[in-house]
Amino acid sequence: MSESIALLDATKIEQIKSHAKIIAASGLVPDHFAKNPQAIYTAIDMARALKEEPVTFMQNVYFIGGRAGMYAQYMLSRLRRSGAIRGTVRYRVEGKGDSLAVTCSAVDAETGEEIFGPTVSMAMANAEGWTKNPKYKSMPEVMLRKRAVTFLVREHYPDVLMGFSTVEELEDMAHGSRTVRATVVEDDAIADLNAKILGDGEPESQVVEAAEAEVAR
C-alpha cells in the first residue's frame, strides 16, 4: 500500500501540493474540491487507500458533516471491478406504496451461489426515519434499491466499502437530525492532517457551499 501523505517527506509533499492545484483548476472535479484545493490532499490519501485514481475518487465522493460517503453507483462499480461477483447485482421488488420492499442479490464469483442482502422496505425506512429525506416520497424504489445494494455489499463484500458510508446513508442520517450541509474539512482528524501537510500551524476548518436538502446525483 502506498505510504500515507502524512508520512511523506517535504519534497513529495510539495509535489502533491502542485498536483492538487492542477487538479483543482482542471474542471474535472466537483466544486467542493475545486474551490478548496486543501481538501484534495486528504482525497488523494483516501484514493490511495482505495487504490483508485484521485480524480475518479473525487468525482464519486461527497462529504457530509465531515464524513466521506461514496455514491451508491460508485460502490456498485467497485464491487463489479473487484471480481467478487459474476455479472452485476439483481433486485427483487415487491409491493407498492407503504408495502414496497427491495431485496438485492448477486452471484458470488468464488462459490457460484446467489447471495442475498437484507430486504429493505418502506416500513423500515419509516421506522428508521429515512423518509424525512424527501427523495423517499419522490422516488421511493430508487432509494430502496440504493439502500438494498449497500446492505448486500456491507454484509457480504465489506472490502468494497473499506469502512466508508454511502452518500445516501449519510443523507438519510442527516435528514433525521438537521439540514444537510456539505462539508469538506470539518472534523479535527482531517483538519489536523491538512495542517501537517500545509505546515500552516493551527488547523482551520474549510467549509464549502451548503447543499440544502439534496446532494446525491
Residue 117 confidence (pLDDT): 97
Contact 209, 182 (CB under 8 A): yes
Give residue 7's pLDDT.
52
pLDDT at 64 over 90: no
pTM value is 0.68
**Residue 78 resides in a domain:** no
Beta-bridge mates of residue 179: none
Same domain, 93 and 157: yes
Q: What is the pLDDT of residue 22?
A: 84
Contact between 216 and 167 under an 8 Å Cβ cutoff? The reply is yes
Query: Sheet containing 165-166: which strands, arranged edge to edge?
Result: 61-64, 67-70, 165-166
Average of per-residue pLDDT across 198-207: 36
In a domain, 211, yes or no: no
**43 grid coordinates:** 482525497
Residue 94 included in any domain = yes
pLDDT of 100: 98
Higher pLDDT, 120 or 182: 120
User: Is there a domain that residue 114 lies in?
Assistant: yes
Looking up cell 505510504 gives: 3
Task: Tell me if 56 sits within 8 A of 45, measured CB to CB.
Answer: no
Residue 41: enclosing H or E segment and its boundaries? helix 37-50
Same domain membership, residue 90 and residue 51: no
Q: Are strands 85-94 and 67-70 parallel, antiparallel or unpaired?
A: unpaired
Most confident region among 14-18, 21-25, 91-95 by mean pLDDT: 91-95
Average pLDDT, the chain: 78
pLDDT band at 15 (very low <50, low <70, confident <90, very high): confident
Domain count across the chain: 2
Q: What is the pLDDT of residue 47?
A: 87
Phi–psi pair at 29, nearest 5 degrees: -120, 155
Q: What is the pLDDT of residue 29?
A: 87
Is the same domain home to 90 and 149? yes
Question: Whole-angstrom Cα distance, residue 53 to residue 49?
Answer: 10
Answer for the pair 175, 79: CB distance below 8 angstroms, yes or no: no
Taking only the tens place, the pLDDT of each residue in 89-142 is: 999 999 999 999 999 999 999 999 999 999 999 999 999 999 999 999 999 999
Which residues does 130 contact at the CB level (< 8 Å), separation at least 6? 124, 136, 143, 147, 172, 175, 176
Asked if residue 45 and residue 12 are part of one domain, the reply reads yes
Q: Is residue 79 part of a domain?
A: no
Q: Quick check: is 96 in a domain?
A: yes
Residue with more model confidence, 170 or 12? 170
Establish if 116 belongs to a structural domain. yes
State the average pLDDT over residues 186-196: 41
Residue 59 domain boundaries = 5-65+181-198
